[in-house]
Amino acid sequence: MTPPRAPRASCGEGRMETTMSSAAEQRQKIELYDTTLRDGTQGEGISFSVEDKVNVAIRLDQFGIDFIEGGFPGSNPKDAEFFERIKDVQLIHAKVAAFGSTRRAHVAVEDDENLKALIRSGAKVATIFGKSWTFHVTDALRTTLDENLRMIEESVAFLRFHGMDVIYDAEHFFDGYFADREYALETLEAAVRGGASRVVLCDTNGGRLPHEVAEAVRAVRERIPAAIGIHTHNDSGLAVANALAAVREGAVHVQGTMNGYGERSGNCDLIQVIPNLQLKMGYACVPPESMPKLTELSRFVSELANMRPDPRQPFVGKSVFAHKGGAHVSAILRHPETYEHIPPEAVGNQRRVLVSELSGGSNIIYKAREYGVELKKDSPVLRKVTETIKELEHQGYHFEGAEASFELLLKRELGLYRPFFELLGLRVTIDKRHPEDEPVVEATIKVRVGERVLHTAADGNGPVNALDMALRKALEEAYPEIRRIKLVDYKVRVLNERAGTGAKVRVLITQSDGKKSWGTVGVSANIIEASWRALADGIEYGLIHVDATPMPLAQRAEAGGSA
């Protein structure tokens, strides 16, 4: 038997309250609904463990997200386990929502397993989707338009009867609206009759344009007495623009994912929506103290998703406040707003000045300041460093990803550099005695540290690995701190492919001490030489920043070292 119809959400419930800003002005609150843990996991290559999902939920809650969609408890054991685990977590702000669909056609609500799974999840909020497009009703559900309206209303009422707040996602709403406006609006009315507190308009195929979204939202707002939400996909590259257009027309609830994760081209990126709404459009989304944590949140989620952060992602990408052209850098030295639409620290990002063949003196001055060195515009050192950079970049060097190499170059020119070691010689041998055998690689290296000569050898799984191992083995006697420095990435690029096996190569190496990472570069027609230059720079830079000093001979003897 169908339960009694739940009371309809009133206009007072539907329209979000406003909050007072620090400037004592009215700022309308826009609800944020995160579906990273459900819609986001439908993106190719993205998978969260249950532990990951719990940790993401905690972080979203701390940031100030209003709703966290935990998954589809009726679809798989992982989501069901998440809802069990999250019951033991004391969230301070967010409400957890369970996701599902309306009842099946011609099945009583009390017999629908999907709806019963939503109730068993223990979540206080249920988000269910239903069909808005006549084409989907007749061809996907293969039922009648009237039955679809009953499915929506009865499903919402059933969940409301069991004490759940219900958010109704109108799937394919915009496609349905422009195919049959009247029927699409009737589906929303059915959800409101059932007791839905919010009706969310979904651009499920991601193909609508901002002016179309605005037109439809205006029509819904005039007719539907409930809070309006927006859920957009990015197939046309307009998910964020469409969400902002909907808010301008009266939507007060925005659904999306962290970093725009989602199937196909992804979902609306809340990392972009939040600063646009709060910093530019004057709405209240999250506590003001959360905004400078936006970049950190984005990278935290990408780490758990095992996805490399996009360096060009608006607001939080590593490159979005990076300046390369000399004229640009000269301007931002005086007034950063000349080439920055917001201060990077407003979203927890940072300004970067890149050094390349496009650099002018301003780039070098800015970078020198980062290292605690003041250079004058008429300094001979400045001119020399600028010319050296341009010449090295012409040879194939690339300092954008190798700022440690640039810092060492600058300090050498300024007389602020002291070498930690001097190479006296190296040899790399590769021994392959049978076609089926793996080659045996050995590197021998001789370096001078102060007055001492250190001579060691090491095997490796390749010539560069053997060289790296031999250098570390030699220097460890003098600099025990080197144990903290690890090689974490090694890239090779052929610069002039037409030269064949005689082509120059550029080697980029990234090393880390566990807290900070740095990049170095080497270029040569000999891959071992290019690798050595990048490797040596990386080790020297690391020793500078771990504040290494040569261990006295007596102390080395006590530690069991040999001369």
Class of domain 422-558: alpha beta
pLDDT digits (tens, 9 = 90+) for 51-92: 889 999 999 999 999 999 998 886 778 888 899 989 989 999
Decide: residue 225, CB within 10 A, 0-12 exposed, 13-18 middle, 19+ buried.
Answer: middle
Domain at 28-286: CATH code: 3.20.20.70
Residues in the chain: 563
Q: Which residues contact 82 (CB under 8 A, 6 or more apart)?
A: 37, 50, 53, 54, 70, 71
Query: Topology of domain 322-395, per CATH?
Result: H-NS DNA Binding Protein (4.10.430)
pLDDT digits (tens, 9 = 90+) for 472-522: 888 888 888 888 888 888 888 887 666 666 678 888 888 888 888 888 888
The yes-or-no verdict on residue 309 having pLDDT over 90 is no
pLDDT digits (tens, 9 = 90+) for 416-466: 778 888 889 889 888 887 887 788 889 899 988 888 888 888 988 888 888
Q: What is the pLDDT of residue 519?
A: 84
Query: Same CATH fold, 322-395 and 28-286?
Result: no
How many C-alpha atoms does 387 have within 13 Å on its Cβ side?
7
Taking the model in full, what pTM does it have?
Answer: 0.69
Domains of the chain, residue spans: 28-286, 322-395, 422-558
pLDDT digits (tens, 9 = 90+) for 543-553: 887 766 665 44
3-state secondary structure 288-329: HHHHHHHHHHHHHHHHHCCCCCCCCCCCCCCCCCEECCHHHH
